[in-house]
Amino acid sequence: MTKIIGLTGGIGSGKTTVANEFLALGIPVYITDSEAKTIMQTDAVLDQIKTEFGNTIFENGVLIREKLSEIVFNNSDKLAKLNGIVHPAVKQHFKEWLVEHKNHPLVIYESAILFESGSYKQCDFVINVEAPLELRIQRVIERDKTTREKVLERIKNQWKDEEKSSKSDFVIKNTSIEAIKIEIVKILNFLRIKQINS
């Protein structure tokens, strides 16, 4: 039975770096944000979004993600409606992906909102990635070419590190690639022992 390892962390914490390290070790990784972007381009999901949010967020039949983001960013009701469309579609897609990877002893399910969305319930174990706040802010400013204020706004809308870590089985402190690699080896050794004994 394939074990699902949830991987989460606040914006700029370095989840992608950790995910890539697992990938380099031959462990399949499901990146929910990337998959959700693809799923949001499917006809079934686009039709639901159009019904819920109207035609103004479309140009020549193409969804303008920035316009949709503006609508849902500070409106919890609208965000909940969007999540109610996208999350079930992602959940179904992940089930299909899991079948394709059923021969692997474990897979990584990466999601920034693993706890907020309730997706942690499908995971056997959860890893939270932490990084110092200032480092996270700097990373996101450079990556997204955005402002400090906008990054802080996004951080404010996510669970705090302490909340995520208290509900996680493992915490990786992302201070360097070397530190990440050491923690991953420890986690994998623990999980392998668990599998041998189960």
* Distance between CA atoms of residues 134 and 138, nearest Å: 6
Is 15 marked within a binding site?
yes
pLDDT confidence tier of residue 74, bands split at 50, 70 and 90: confident
Beta strands in the chain (DSSP E): 3-9, 29-31, 58-59, 62-63, 106-110, 125-130, 170-173
* DSSP secondary structure letter of residue 119: G
What digits encode the pLDDT tens for the residues 14-66?
A: 999 999 999 999 999 999 999 999 999 999 999 999 999 999 999 988 999 88
Structurally, at CATH architecture level, domain 1-28+104-191 sits in 3-Layer(aba) Sandwich (3.40)
* Distance between CA atoms of residues 117 and 180, nearest Å: 26
Reading across the β-sheet that carries 125-130, which strands appear in turn?
29-31, 106-110, 3-9, 125-130, 170-173
Q: Residue 8, class by beta-carbon neighbours within 10 Å (0-12 exposed, 13-18 middle, 19+ buried)?
A: buried
Contact predicate 183/174, CB 8 Å: no
pLDDT confidence tier of residue 129, bands split at 50, 70 and 90: very high
Is 175 marked within a binding site?
no
The average confidence (pLDDT) of the chain is 92
Is 194 marked within a binding site?
no
**Parallel, antiparallel, or unpaired for β 58-59 and 62-63?**
antiparallel
Q: Which helix (H) or strand (E) holds 112?
A: none
Give the per-residue pLDDT at 198.
59
* Distance between CA atoms of residues 94 and 28, nearest Å: 12
pLDDT confidence tier of residue 153, bands split at 50, 70 and 90: confident
Q: pTM of the full predicted structure?
A: 0.90
Is 14 marked within a binding site?
yes
* Distance between CA atoms of residues 129 and 14, nearest Å: 7
Please determine, for residue 197, whether its predicted confidence score (pLDDT) is greater than 70: no
pLDDT confidence tier of residue 9, bands split at 50, 70 and 90: very high
Is 12 marked within a binding site?
yes
Is 84 marked within a binding site?
no
Query: Could you tell me the residue ranges of all domains in the chain?
Result: 1-28+104-191, 36-100
